[in-house]
Amino acid sequence: MKLGILGNGQLARMIALAGYPLNVHCVFLDPTSDGCASTLGESIVAPYDDPKGLSQLAQIADYITFEFENVPGQTLEYLSQQMPVHPPAKALLITQDRLGEKQMFNNKGIETAPFAQIDNLTDLQKAIDNIGMPGILKTRRLGYDGKGQAIIRQPSELKDAWQSIGAVPATYEGFVAYNREVSIIAVRAQNGEVRFYPLVENIHRNGILSVSTAQINDPAQQQAEEIAHKVLDSFSDYVGILVIEFFQVGDKLLVNEFAPRVHNSGHWTIEGAATSQFENHLRAVTGMPLGDTNAICPSAMINIIGKVPNTHEILKVPGAHLHLYDKEARAKRKIGHITVCANNAEALSTRIGRINSILH
């Protein structure tokens, strides 16, 4: 069986690695030839909207998926006329527009931070008057890991913030005094079965995810699952992994955004869960039964950003599993991660601290 993947970065790489034991081989389509997944399968070097490249992919692959949101929605629509494509184009198109995404949540009765549509400086001034400061200005399209965003703490920063994002259509979102940031990872099979992984608590540094820790038996688990069901039900044909990021304020979860793909906050599942998010995504999109999503031990994921650490020191830490992506090191770039497992929460915390001391 062959799975076509749009993109050849680290997420495609980890899907491909999960496919080997199941005899699922991956074919990557990407404009670049040197992505870190390229050595793990056949590559088609072509733009995402190139009809010739897409036709070649459709002839080779049995199923199609994608690894990130910057793939044109029209590409998925084109491919879906010829073969199974999961998740659906409609879900991808929603996530490509932050305003539409927030509006979808509110239309489903899902609460978010206060937000406003921004098309010019006048809109931004009105939004600040209504929502207040501090807040964050985000481009409606593209942008991730802190890119395409500007924090506004006082009126004098308004013009500079608008120019810093390129003076393009945006949203302004009010800051939320949250207790923690969490995410839920769901997977939906072709027969409609849905399973959930334990809630994950996330810590960011400089707008980039730093540490994700699985929260076994978390009190907010049921609330997160109920919201995820509402999002999944918005797309009757949704198949694959879906991740929702939340701000927790007291006992309430406010939705930040969702991702129709495997996700950085789920990397801990490779060693920490009975079935990794990558294997379950692959199982779902190729029509296989879903695997067990339970955590098998207290686990966390720590991103490696910017430079490769002393790998010998990392591997000396009990329960540490090193994943390097074969990517060129540069500032603010995710070039690997470490999954760390332990027998209890206290030991896990100690091991996370030890690894962070090596990384920083």
pLDDT tens readout for residues 260-316: 999 999 999 999 999 999 999 999 999 999 999 999 999 999 999 999 999 999 999
pLDDT at 158: 87
Domain 2-85 shares a fold with domain 114-174: no
Mean pLDDT for 233-243 is 94
Mean pLDDT for 197-226 is 96
Burial (CB count within 10 angstroms: exposed 0-12, middle 13-18, buried 19+), residue 141: middle
Of 5-9, 17-21, 122-126, which gets the smallest average pLDDT?
A: 122-126
The hierarchical CATH code for the domain 2-85 is 3.40.50.20
The hierarchical CATH code for the domain 180-359 is 3.30.470.20
Q: Cβ distance 214 to 200 under 8 Å?
A: yes
CB atoms within 10 A of CB 74: 12
pLDDT at 156: 85
pLDDT at 288: 98
Residues forming a β-bridge with 201: 182, 213
3-state secondary structure of 65: strand
Which tens digits make up the pLDDT trace of 151-195?
999 988 888 898 999 999 999 999 999 999 999 999 999 999 999
CA pair distance 66, 22, nearest whole angstrom: 19
Residue 197, pLDDT above cutoff 90:
yes
pLDDT at 318: 97
Residue 199 one-letter amino acid: L
Distance of CA 252 to the CA centre of its chain: 22
Q: CA distances (Å), 353 to each of 125, 269, 314, in order?
A: 43, 20, 12
pLDDT at 144: 57
Query: What is the pLDDT of the chain when averaged over all its residues?
Result: 95
Q: Which CATH architecture has domain 114-174?
A: 2-Layer Sandwich (3.30)
Which tens digits make up the pLDDT trace of 55-112?
999 999 999 999 998 899 899 999 999 999 999 999 999 999 999 999 999 999 999 9
How do beta strands 194-196 and 180-188 pair?
Answer: antiparallel
> How much of the chain is in helix, strand and coil states, percent to nearest 5?
35, 30, 35
pLDDT at 157: 87
> Any idea where the domains of the chain sit in the sequence?
2-85, 114-174, 180-359
